Structure 1
Amino acid sequence: MLSDAVPSLRCPVCRGPFGLSGAAPLSLVCVAGHSFDAAKQGYFNLLTGKGTVFEADTAEMVAARDDFLGAGHYAPLAEAIAEEAAPVLSVPGSLVLDSGTGTGHYLRTVLERTPAAAIGIDISKFALRRGARLNPGAVNLVWDIWRPLPIADHSVDAIIVVFAPRNPPEFARVLRPGGRVIVVTPRNGHLGEIAERTGMLNIEPGKEERLTESMQEFFTLADTIHLDVDLKLGGRDIADVAFMGPAGHHLERAALLASTASETSVQATAKFTLSVFTAP
């Protein structure tokens, strides 16, 4: 339930604990009286002051992602994430943070397997509109990952980060001892059959090594899992997967759809790395 995660939230203004107001509209109200109303779609925007310089995903990019993930293409990845999170989310009272939750598809699979409470954060309100609809029992927050998280110290059992930025010091602060951070990144050759011709961004050399280096001050690398998913994609699928990622900020949706319209069954392989880190 939504209320299960609220005690672990902290006000971004005063860092005081929140309570949940049942009046309409539903509100998060801290002990000092700072109040944040839920949007009609069910998420809360906690950003204050200058907002963020981070470029949020657009409504079109989010729609492409929702269509692609909703078709089940990355279901094996969602199951693998849930499998790695389950050992620390097996009892009532546990809490999972989906950092960069997007449309909430990966979090949905985690919650289907565990009794955990959940917090999903993302910078895109367009993504959270869909994420809140898919995971109505989670607290879905507009937030900037580069700021201190609006979450209490050592209150989270698992953090999942799927193709999203990471803030290791903040993850270490909010994670309980023995908790897990599960980070998903693309591997070299990811969707190589379609990447170049659709304008998808290349995988940077040494990406996996830099991830480990950035996390090792705070966590221990417990496991590295390479997962390959064979896909059969139609033209609309190809356009969606190209447009839903970072390249979507630079591509034209109409042009992608036009260029892939004749495709009916293209074989491609999605290549992922799941890096599992544990807190001391």
Structure 2
Amino acid sequence: MHASVITHLRCPVCAGSLNAANRALRCAAGHSFDLARQGYADLTAGRSVHAGDSADMVAAREALLEAGHFDVVSDAVSAAAAGVPGKGLILEVGAGTGRYLARALGPARVGLAVDVSKAALRRAARADPRIGAVRADVWRGLPVRDATADVLLDIFAPRSGAEFARVLRPGGVAVVVTPAPGHLAELVAALGMVGVDPAKPERLAASLQPWLTHLGTTPLRADLTLDRAAAAALVGMGPSAWHTDPAEVTATLATMAEPITATLEVHLSLWQAA
């Protein structure tokens, strides 16, 4: 793990500084956390966390992102991160494969990918040499020092306003991407995907205020042109994977003419520590 990333971490047990030693991260109090051979560190401190996305879900997401279907999101996130002063850390919560984080680093910053999914962290640890990857659950507290991140990315991921405000430095900004009500509406109707709660903006604000101040929201939209494999990946990469039958999805897609069209519609919002 990149030495500059380790300086931003803290022990999940005692909150002391961590240092690298013999393929492990250790604090002065003697707590030690092994670095997996795939390059990530498990900083859950033995506390039970859910398994997160499966290997199949992670692979589906990587295929969609690599094909460029979500470039409108990646480009906007990168531009937002570049607009925040500083040359320090970009932290991504629920980082998945780390592709958004790698794009957002720019020439001078280092990145920390946090996720609970081991399958995701294996990919995130390889996304860029300047990215460190750790297993942790935002709801149980991030193993990250106070006031240390220039930018925090949260893209279709869980949110904790108190933790976000704690780890952001003064003037730091959280870049949050959430689905809009029309996101993938065509596939939601045809394939039984989980729809977007119309009250999503209100729930987002409730999760981040009063710890963070809303700086503004930008709507992002793109028309997706998909083959059947890409449409199946869209179902399989997110929450709908837990609520749909893959065989039924495949059978329905077989009846649909290619290309399959769908609307990507999300909101990118910026939040600063209050």
TM over 0.5: yes
In 1, distance between residues paired with 2:156 and 2:222?
A: 16
Output one character per residue of 1:96-127: Cα deviation in whole Å (capped at 9) or x when no partner: 1100000111111102x241111110010011
Distance 1:34 1:263 in 2: 57
Provide the residue aligned with 1:270 in structure 2.
264
CA distance in 1, matches of 2:236, 2:99: 17
1:110 aligns with 2:107: no
1:263 is displaced (CA, Å) by 4.0
Deviations 1:163-189 (A, max 9, x none): 011011011111111110111000011
Counterpart AA for 2:44: L
1:252 CA drift (Å): 3.3
Structure 2 vs 1, CA of residues 250 and 136 (structure 1 numbering), >3 Å: closer, same or farther? farther
Which aligned pairs between 1:77-156 and structure 2 lie closer than 5 A? 77-88=73-84, 91-92=86-87, 94-111=88-105, 113-156=106-149
Alignment of 1:185-224 (within 5 A): 185-224=178-217
- Cα deviation for residue 95 of structure 1 reads 0.7
Conservation of the 8 A alpha-carbon contact between 2:194 and 2:243: no
The reply to whether residue 29 of structure 1 matches residue 26 of structure 2 is yes
CA distance in structure 2 between the partners assigned to 1:101 and 1:51 by the alignment: 19
| Aligned counterparts of 1:219 and 1:46: Cα–Cα separation in 2 | 26
Partner SS state of residue 258, structure 2: coil
Give 1:264 shift: 2.1
Structure-2 separation of matches of 1:158 and 1:216: 17
Q: What letter matches 2:114 in structure 1? A: I
Deviation at 1:48, TM superposition (A): 2.3
- Detail structure 1 runs of 4+ shifted over 6 Å in the superposition: none
Q: Distance in 1 between the 2:86 and 2:130 partners? A: 17
1:196 is matched by which residue type in structure 2? Answer: A
2:65 match: secondary structure: helix
Aligned AA (1:105): R
Deviation string, structure 1 residues 168-217 (Cα, Å, up to 9, x no partner)? 10111111111101110000111111112222111112111221233220
Letter in structure 2 aligned against 1:276: L
Q: What is the CA deviation profile of residues 216-243 of structure 1, one whole-angstrom value per residue up to 9, with x for unaligned ones?
A: 2011111100000111011000000011
| Shift in Å, 1:33 | 2.1
The separation in 2 between residues aligned to 1:254 and 1:37, in whole angstroms, is 39
Task: Give distance in 2, aligned partners of 1:215 and 1:173.
Answer: 12
CA distance in 1, matches of 2:78, 2:166: 23
Corresponding residue SS for 2:232 = helix
Query: Aligned partners of 1:220, 1:249: CA distance in 2, in Å?
Result: 33
Equivalences for residues 46-61 of structure 1 within 5 A: 46-52=43-49, 54=50, 56-61=52-57
Which of 260-269 and 128-137 deviates more?
A: 260-269
For structure 1, the 5+ residue unaligned runs are: none
Q: Give the share of equivalent positions with the same residue, in percent.
A: 41
User: Which letter does structure 2 place at the counterpart of 1:35?
Assistant: S
- Judged with a 3 Å threshold, the aligned counterparts in structure 2 of structure 1 residues 258 and 2 are, in CA distance, closer, same or farther, namely farther
Equivalent residue letter for 1:72:
G
TM-score, normalised to structure 2, is 0.94
Query: RMSD of the TM alignment (CA)?
Result: 1.6
Return the alpha-carbon distance in structure 1 between the equivalents of residues 47 and 39 of structure 2. Answer: 23
Number of paired residues? Answer: 273
1:13 aligned partner? 13
